[in-house]
Structure 1
Amino acid sequence: MPAIEFRDVYFRYNEDAPWVLKKFNLKIEANETVAIIGHNGSGKSTIAKLANGLLVPQAGEILINGRKLTTSNVWEIRQKIGMVFQNPENQFVGTTVRDDVAFGLENRGIPRKEMIERIYTSLNQVGMESYQNHEPHNLSGGQKQRVAIASVMAIYPEFLLLDEATSMLDPRGRKEILSTIHDLKEELEITMVMITHDLHEIILADRVIVMNEGQMYKDTTVDQLFNDHQGLQSIGLSLPLTVELAIELEQYDYQFATYPLDNEEFLEALWTSNLKE
Structure 2
Amino acid sequence: MLKRTYKYLYTRLSKFVLGHGVSAFSDTIIIGASGYLLTKKAFDISISGWLLENALQQPAVDAYVYLSGATLVAAIILKMSSIVFVHFPAVKHATVEPEEISECLLVMNKEIFGHISKCDSSDPPCLREISEQHSFDVNIRMVAESLAEHIEKSVGAIKVKRKDVFISLYSYDDENGCLSYELHHDSRRDSVDSKVLCIDDEKYAEYECIKTIKSSASTSYVINKKKYAKGNSRRHKTLEQYMGCKLEMNGCVYGFLNIEFHNNPVFVDEEEMQDFMEESIFPFKLLLEYQYLKKDFFDRFHHFE
TM-score interval (norm. to shorter): under 0.3
Give the structure-1-normalised TM-score.
0.25
Q: Pick the structure with more helix per residue.
A: 2
